[in-house]
C-alpha cells in the first residue's frame, strides 16, 4: 500500500472510532450524563465558541501557558548556560537541582497561593517554576556536553567569550534545549489547567471543572477537545521549529 | 638547518601527573620547512604537537615561536585535528565552517564570501559549499578542516595524523594536495604521522621519537626532489634507503632499546 | 560531596534568618518550624495516612496504565500495519493533558481512589506505549534474523529475543511513568480530590499553617526522591549501569 493509502485508512480508523462512540452513546450503553454523543459535543463546541465565552477561556489558557513557559524558557536557558559552562558551578548546583527535580511542581501551588493569593501572578509563578526544570536541566546538559575538540578549536581561533557562546556553545546545546522546551511546553499546559481549576482563573481548566460540577458532559468534552487541540498545535509548532533548526542533523551522506 | 627557526623546542619536559611524557625534547623547525614526526604509538607525538600549538603548557623548558615563547594558542598557527568530524561545526555548512575562522579573524562580512569561495576551490569543495559535514565523506571533511585552517592565513600548520583515518586512495590525493598548498603558501608544517612512508614522502626532514619519555631518537634529512610523485618518488633508491633506516629505528624503539 | 551540600545548607540558613527576621507570617515559616511541623505530622500519623493514600493511587494507576501501555506498545511495535492504522488516533489522544481528564473522571467516578487511579493510569499509558513501541521496533535486526535462522515460533521469538532485548529500555519507560504517577496523583489531590498528600498541603495552607504546608511539600519532595532513587537502583541492579546510560539517551 502506498503512504497515501495508509494515511487514508488510518484516518478512516479515527472516523470509525468516533462513529463507534456515537453508537455507544445512541444506545445509551453508557449514561449520557457521563458520555455525550459526538454530535452534542460538536454542538457544545459551536455554542461555546460562538455564543458563550469558551473562546475567551481558550485564549486565557493559551496565554497562561505561553507566558509561564516563555519566562521559564528564557530563565532556564540563561541559567543553564551559566551553570553548564562552569565545572565549579555544576559541582555546587547540579546535585541540588537533581534533588528538587522529582518534586511535583503542583505541590508548590498552595505555597504560591499563600504568597500571591488567587491571582494570575500566582499562576504565572507556578507555571514558570514547573516548566523551568526540563529546560534548565537540558540546557545544563547541553552546555556541559560540548565536544572538547570544539573547545580547542575555539582556543586556536582565539574566539572572544561572546563569540564562543553565540557561535559554538549555544548551537551545540540547541538540540538539548529544544527537547527541554518541548517538555516544558507540556508541563506548562498541565499547570495552566490546574491553576485555573484551583484559582478559578479564566481558562479552560475553570470551564471544564464548572461544567463537571453542573454535570454538563458535552461542555466538559468540548473543553477537553480544545485542550487536546492546544497540545497538538503546541507539539506541531515545536516540531516545525526543531526540524528547521536541526536540519543539519537529519541530513546524511548523500 | 635554517638559520632562524620558526618553531624551537628547548629542552621541553611534559608530565601528566608523575607520568613523564616528554623528556628534554629539543628540536627546531625552520621557516617554510616540512618536518614530519614519527614514532611508536603513545610516544608523545600528539603531546609534542599540542605543546607547540600552545594547547598545553610544558612542565619545564619552552617552545619558542618566531623567537617568543608560546604561552597560548595563536591564530597564525592552525591545527588540523585527526578527528575531523569532531573538529567541524555540524550545524554549519562547508561555507559556514570556513567562515568561522574568518569571523574569528574579524574579516568584514562583505569580504568573507569571496575568501570562502577561494578557499573551498583550493581544497576542491566549491561545489559542496552548502552541504553539511554530515553529508560529506571523510576525505571531504578533512579537506574542509584544512580550508578552515588556511582561512587563518597561518604561518605554521600543525597536523596530527590528519590522513590516518582515510582510505589509501584518498590519503594519497590529500598528501599531494597538501604539498601543493605548502608550496603555494610557503607555510611551515609540523606533521605528525605513524606512517613512515608518508613521513618521507612529505617531509624535508623526518624526526623519529622514542618513548618513555618521548625524545629524539633519529633525525633524517630527506633529499628527494620536489615536486614529488606518488609512483616515482616512492620507487627511488633514496626513498627506499630512508624507509629502511626509519623502519629499523622504529622497530628497535618499539622493543625499547636504542637503535 | 561537600560542594553538593554547600548550596542547600546556605539556602536553609538564609531561609531561617529571613523568616525569623520577617516575623510571624501566614505564608512562610522558618526551616526549624517546618522540621518540627514535619515531626508533629509524623508523630500523629496524619502524614503516614496521607502518604498511604497517595501511594495507593499512584501505584494503582501506574499498574493499570503501565500494563495497558506495555501491551499496546508491544502490539504496535511488532505489528507494523496496526501501528500505521492507529497512528493518527494516538497522535490525537496523546497531547491531551492528563489533568483535562479530571472533570470527565469526576463526573463518572466521583471523588476518591478511583478518580485518582483513572487519571494516573491515563497519564502513565503514554510513556510506556511510546517507549515500548520504539524498543520493540528497535531490536537489532540481526537478532531477528538469528531468530528466523533458528526457526523460532512468534511466541518464542517474543519471549526469547524481543523481550530481553527491549527490556532495559522498557524499564526506563517504567521509571519515567513511576515519576509521572506520583506527580499526577499529588496534582489531582491538589486540584480536586480531598485525600492524600496533595490535599494535606492544600488544607494546611487554608488553615494558615505555613509550617505544616511546607512540611508537606518537603515530605512530598522526600517521597519523590526516594521513589526515583529506588527505581534507579533497581534499574542498575537489573540491567547494569551501561544499560541505564544507553537507554537514557
Ligand atoms: N591528557 C592526558 N592525561 C594523561 N595522560 C595523557 C594525556 N594525553 C596523553 N597522555 C599520555 O601521554 C602519552 C603520549 O600520548 P600521545 O602524545 O597521545 O602519544 P602519540 O600521539 O604519540 O600516540 C600516552 O602514554 C598517553 O596515555
Ligand atoms: Mg596521537
Strand pairing report for B19-30 and B34-38: unpaired
Strand pairing report for B215-221 and B205-210: antiparallel
Out of 3.30.70.20, 3.30.70.100, 1.10.3720.10, 3.40.50.2300, which CATH number does the structure's domain A48-253 have?
Answer: 1.10.3720.10
Q: Say what percent of chain C tops pLDDT 70.
A: 96
* Domain positions in chain A: 48-253
Q: Say what percent of chain B tops pLDDT 70.
A: 97
On whether both B225 and B245 belong to a single domain, the answer is yes
List pocket residues of ligand 1, CB cut-off 6 Å. B 16, 21, 39, 41-47
- Number of independent structural domains in chain B: 2
Q: Which residue of B has its CA nearest to A247?
A: B91
Count of CB atoms situated within 10 Å of the CB of B59: 14
A239-248, C18-27, C49-58, C75-84: least confidently modelled range? C18-27
- Tell me if B14 is assigned to some domain: no
Q: In chain B, which residues have their Cβ closer than 8 Å to the Cβ of A157?
A: 75, 100-101, 104, 152
On whether both B188 and B250 belong to a single domain, the answer is yes
Q: Print the domain residue range for B37.
A: 30-56+71-76+154-259
Q: Find the mean pLDDT for residues B57-75.
A: 91
End-to-end CA distance of chain A: 27
pLDDT value of position C241: 56
Q: Is C44 exposed, middle or buried (0-12, 13-18, 19+ CB in 10 A)?
A: exposed
- Judged by its nearest atom, the ligand closest to the C-alpha of residue B44 is 1
Rounded Cα gap, residues C174 and C62, in angstroms: 9
- The residue whose CA has the least distance to atom 5 of ligand 1 is B16
- The residue whose CA has the least distance to atom 9 of ligand 1 is B47
pTM, two decimals, is 0.87
Per-residue pLDDT tens digits for C173-204: 998 899 899 999 999 999 998 999 999 999 99
Tell me the pLDDT band of B252, cut-offs 50, 70 and 90. Answer: confident
Relative to the CA of B192, which ligand 1 atom is closest? 21
Q: How far is the CA of B68 from the centre of ligand 2 (A)?
A: 26
Tell me the pLDDT band of C103, cut-offs 50, 70 and 90. Answer: very high
On whether both B249 and B184 belong to a single domain, the answer is yes
pLDDT value of position B126: 93
Q: In chain C, which residues have their Cβ closer than 8 Å to the Cβ of A89?
A: none
The full 3-state SS of chain A, as one line of letters, equals CCHHHHHHHHHHHHHHHHHHHHHHHHCCCCCCCCCCCHHHHHHHHHHHHHCCCHHHHHHHHHHHHHHHHHHHHHHHHHHHHHHHCCHHHHHHHHHHHHHHCCCCHHHHHHHHHHHHCCCHHHHHHHHHHHHHHHHHHHHHHHHHCCCHHHHHHHHHHCCCHHHHHHHHHHHHHHHHHHHHHHHHHHHHHHHHHHHHHHHCCCCHHHHHHHHHHCCCHHHHHHHHHHHHHHHHHHHHHHHHHHHHHCHHHHCCCC
Please tell me if residue B55 touches chain A, with a CB cutoff of 8 Å. yes
pLDDT value of position C156: 83
- Tell me if B213 is assigned to some domain: yes
Q: How far is the CA of B213 from the centre of ligand 2 (A)?
A: 15
Q: Test C106 with A215 for CB contact under 8 angstroms.
A: no
Distance from CA of A158 to the nearest CA of C (A): 32
Q: How far is the CA of B160 from the centre of ligand 2 (A)?
A: 7
Which of A6, A109, A234 lies at the smallest CB-CB distance from C84? A6
Please tell me if residue A91 touches chain C, with a CB cutoff of 8 Å. yes
* Final residue in a domain of this structure, among B119, B137, B153: B153
pLDDT value of position B259: 42
Q: Is the pLDDT of residue B3 over 70?
A: no
Q: Which residue of A has its CA nearest to B55?
A: A152
Q: Is the pLDDT of residue C71 over 60?
A: yes
Residues ≥6 apart with Cβ < 8 Å to C214: A111, C28, C29, C34, C37
On whether both B148 and B160 belong to a single domain, the answer is no
pLDDT value of position A41: 92
Q: How far is the CA of B21 from the centre of ligand 1 (A)?
A: 7
Strand pairing report for B156-160 and B19-30: unpaired
Neighbours of chain B (3+ CB pairs under 8 A): A
pLDDT value of position A154: 94
Please state the φ and ψ torsions of residue A240, each to the nearest 5 degrees: -65, -50
On whether both B227 and B110 belong to a single domain, the answer is no
Q: In chain A, which residues have their Cβ closer than 8 Å to the Cβ of C87?
A: 10
If one compares C123 and C165, the residue with the highest pLDDT of the two is: C123
pLDDT value of position C247: 42
On whether both B146 and B235 belong to a single domain, the answer is no
pLDDT value of position C1: 67
C-alpha cell at B4: 632562524
Per-residue pLDDT tens digits for A142-156: 999 999 999 999 999
Tell me the pLDDT band of A100, cut-offs 50, 70 and 90. Answer: confident
pLDDT value of position C213: 92
pLDDT value of position C118: 95
Out of 1.25.40.10, 1.10.3720.10, 1.10.10.10, 3.40.718.10, which CATH number does the structure's domain C33-248 have?
Answer: 1.10.3720.10
Tell me the pLDDT band of B256, cut-offs 50, 70 and 90. Answer: low
Q: Test B91 with A157 for CB contact under 8 angstroms.
A: no
Per-residue pLDDT tens digits for C42-63: 999 899 999 999 999 999 999 9
Q: Is the pLDDT of residue C240 over 90?
A: no
pLDDT value of position C234: 85
Per-residue pLDDT tens digits for C210-235: 999 999 999 999 998 888 888 888 88
Per-residue pLDDT tens digits for B171-211: 999 999 999 999 999 999 999 999 999 999 999 999 999 88
Q: Classify each residue of A54-67 as buried b or exposed e, where b means 16 or more C-beta atoms within 10 Å of its C-beta.
A: beebbebbbebbbb
* Final residue in a domain of this structure, among B102, B134, B153: B153
Rounded Cα gap, residues A67 and A124, in angstroms: 7
Q: What is the mean pLDDT of chain A?
A: 91
Residues ≥6 apart with Cβ < 8 Å to A91: C3, C4
pLDDT value of position C163: 80
Report the residue among B21, B41, B161, B207 best suited for mutation to probe ligand 1: largest number of ligand atoms under 8 A from its CB: B21
Q: What is the mean pLDDT of chain C?
A: 87
Residues ≥6 apart with Cβ < 8 Å to B125: B94, B140, B143, B144, B147
* Final residue in a domain of this structure, among B96, B128, B153: B153
pLDDT value of position C97: 92
Q: Which residue of A has its CA nearest to C207?
A: A114
pLDDT value of position B1: 47
Q: Are C216 and C92 in contact (CB under 8 A)?
A: no
DSSP symbol at B106:
T
- Tell me if B147 is assigned to some domain: yes
Q: Which residue of A has its CA nearest to B135?
A: A253
On whether both B169 and B257 belong to a single domain, the answer is yes
Tell me the pLDDT band of C15, cut-offs 50, 70 and 90. Answer: confident
pLDDT value of position A252: 56
Q: Are C120 and C61 in contact (CB under 8 A)?
A: yes
Q: Is the pLDDT of residue B68 over 60?
A: yes
Q: Find the mean pLDDT for residues A161-186.
A: 93
Residues with CB under 5 A from ligand 2 (ion): B 46
Q: Find the mean pLDDT for residues A33-43.
A: 89
Count of CB atoms situated within 10 Å of the CB of A232: 16
Q: In chain C, which residues have their Cβ closer than 8 Å to the Cβ of A10?
A: 84-89
Q: Test A34 with C96 for CB contact under 8 angstroms.
A: no
Q: Best of A103, A186, A227, A236 to disrupt the C interface by mutation (most C CBs within 10 Å)?
A: A103
pLDDT value of position B196: 92
On whether both B208 and B255 belong to a single domain, the answer is yes
On whether both B98 and B210 belong to a single domain, the answer is no
Q: How many CA atoms lie within 13 A of A31 on its CB side?
A: 9
Q: Find the mean pLDDT for residues A85-98.
A: 88
pLDDT value of position A137: 93
Amino acid at each position: 500500500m502506498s503512504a497515501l493509502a495508509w494515511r487514508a485508512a488510518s484516518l478512516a480508523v479515527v472516523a470509525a472510532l468516533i462513529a463507534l462512540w456515537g453508537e455507544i452513546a445512541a444506545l445509551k450503553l453508557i449514561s449520557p450524563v457521563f458520555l455525550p454523543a459526538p454530535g452534542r459535543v460538536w454542538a457544545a463546541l459551536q455554542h461555546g465558541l460562538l455564543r458563550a465565552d469558551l473562546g475567551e477561556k481558550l485564549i486565557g489558557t493559551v496565554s497562561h501557558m505561553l507566558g509561564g513557559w516563555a519566562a521559564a524558557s528564557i530563565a532556564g536557558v540563561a541559567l543553564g548556560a551559566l551553570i553548564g559552562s562552569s565545572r565549579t558551578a555544576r559541582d555546587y548546583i547540579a546535585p541540588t537541582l537533581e534533588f528538587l527535580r522529582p518534586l511535583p511542581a503542583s505541590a508548590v501551588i498552595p505555597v504560591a497561593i499563600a504568597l500571591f493569593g488567587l491571582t494570575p501572578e500566582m499562576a504565572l509563578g507556578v507555571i514558570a517554576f514547573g516548566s523551568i526544570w526540563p529546560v534548565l536541566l537540558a540546557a545544563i546538559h547541553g552546555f556541559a556536553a560540548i565536544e572538547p575538540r570544539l573547545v580547542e578549536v575555539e582556543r586556536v581561533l582565539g574566539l572572544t567569550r561572546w563569540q564562543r557562546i553565540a557561535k559554538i556553545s549555544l548551537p551545540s546545546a540547541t538540540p538539548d534545549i529544544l527537547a527541554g522546551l518541548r517538555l516544558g511546553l507540556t508541563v506548562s499546559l498541565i499547570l495552566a489547567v490546574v491553576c485555573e481549576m484551583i484559582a478559578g482563573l479564566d481558562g479552560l481548566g475553570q470551564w471544564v471543572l464548572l461544567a463537571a460540577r453542573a454535570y454538563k458532559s458535552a461542555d466538559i468534552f468540548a473543553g477537553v477537545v480544545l485542550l487536546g487541540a492546544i497540545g497538538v498545535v503546541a507539539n506541531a509548532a515545536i516540531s516545525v521549529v526543531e526540524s528547521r533548526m536541526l536540519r543539519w542533523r537529519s541530513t546524511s551522506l548523500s | 638547518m635554517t638559520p632562524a627557526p620558526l618553531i624551537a623546542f628547548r629542552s621541553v619536559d611534559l608530565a601528566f601527573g608523575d607520568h613523564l611524557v616528554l623528556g628534554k625534547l629539543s628540536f627546531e623547525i625552520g621557516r617554510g620547512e616540512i618536518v614530519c614526526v614519527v614514532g611508536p604509538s603513545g610516544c608523545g607525538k600528539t603531546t609534542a604537537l599540542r605543546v607547540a600549538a600552545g594547547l598545553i603548557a610544558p612542565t619545564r623548558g619552552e617552545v619558542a615561536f618566531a623567537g617568543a615563547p608560546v604561552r597560548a594558542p595563536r591564530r597564525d598557527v592552525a591545527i588540523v585535528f585527526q578527528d575531523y568530524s569532531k573538529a567541524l561545526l555540524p550545524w554549519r555548512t562547508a561555507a559556514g565552517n570556513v567562515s568561522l575562522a574568518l569571523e574569528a579573524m574579524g574579516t568584514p562580512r562583505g569580504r568573507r564570501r569571496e575568501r570562502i569561495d577561494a578557499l573551498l576551490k583550493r581544497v576542491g569543495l566549491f561545489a559542496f559549499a552548502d552541504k553539511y559535514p554530515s553529508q560529506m565523506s571523510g576525505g571531504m571533511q578533512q579537506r574542509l578542516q584544512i580550508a578552515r585552517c588556511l582561512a587563518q592565513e597561518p604561518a605554521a600548520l600543525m597536523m596530527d595524523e590528519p590522513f590516518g583515518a582515510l582510505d589509501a586512495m584518498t590519503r594519497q590525493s590529500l598528501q599531494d594536495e597538501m604539498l601543493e598548498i605548502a608550496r603555494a603558501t610557503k607555510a611551515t608544517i609540523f606533521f605528525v604521522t605513524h606512517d613512515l612512508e608518508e613521513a618521507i614522502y612529505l617531509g624535508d626532514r623526518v624526526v623519529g621519537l622514542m618513548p618513555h619519555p618521548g625524545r629524539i631518537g633519529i633525525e633524517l634529512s630527506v633529499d628527494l626532489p620536489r615536486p614529488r610523485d606518488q609512483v616515482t618518488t616512492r620507487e627511488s633508491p633514496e626513498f627506499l634507503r630512508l624507509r629502511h633506516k626509519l623502519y629499523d629505528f622504529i622497530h628497535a624503539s618499539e622493543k625499547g632499546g636504542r637503535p | 560531596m561537600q560542594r553538593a551540600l554547600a548550596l542547600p545548607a546556605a539556602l536553609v540558613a538564609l531561609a531561617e534568618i529571613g523568616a525569623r527576621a520577617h516575623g510571624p507570617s501566614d505564608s512562610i515559616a522558618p526551616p526549624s518550624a517546618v522540621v518540627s511541623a514535619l515531626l508533629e505530622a509524623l508523630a500523629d500519623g496524619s502524614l503516614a495516612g496521607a502518604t498511604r493514600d497517595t501511594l495507593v493511587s499512584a501505584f494503582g494507576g501506574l499498574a493499570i496504565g503501565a500494563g495497558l501501555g506495555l501491551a499496546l506498545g508491544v502490539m504496535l511495535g511488532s505489528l507494523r500495519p496496526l501501528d500505521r492504522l492507529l497512528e493518527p488516533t494516538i497522535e490525537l489522544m496523546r497531547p491531551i493533558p492528563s489533568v483535562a481528564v479530571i472533570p470527565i473522571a469526576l463526573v463518572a467516578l466521583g471523588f476518591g481512589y478511583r478518580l485518582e487511579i483513572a487519571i494516573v493510569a491515563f497519564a502513565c499509558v503514554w510513556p510506556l506505549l511510546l517507549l515500548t513501541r520504539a524498543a520493540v521496533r528497535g531490536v537489532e535486526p540481526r537478532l531477528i534474523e538469528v531468530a528466523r535462522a533458528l526457526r523460532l515460533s512468534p511466541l518464542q521469538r517474543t519471549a526469547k529475543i524481543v523481550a530481553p532485548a527491549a527490556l532495559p529500555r522498557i524499564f526506563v519507560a517504567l521509571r519515567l511513568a513511576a515519576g509521572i504517577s506520583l506527580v499526577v496523583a499529588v496534582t489531582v489531590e491538589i486540584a480536586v480530590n480531598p485525600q492524600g498528600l496533595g490535599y494535606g498541603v492544600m488544607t494546611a495552607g487554608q488553615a494558615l499553617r505555613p509550617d505544616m504546608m511546607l512540611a508537606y511539600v518537603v515530605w512530598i519532595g522526600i517521597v519523590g526522591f526516594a521513589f526515583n532513587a529506588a527505581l534507579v537502583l533497581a534499574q542498575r541492579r537489573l540491567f547494569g549501569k551501561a544499560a541505564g546510560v544507553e537507554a537514557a539517551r
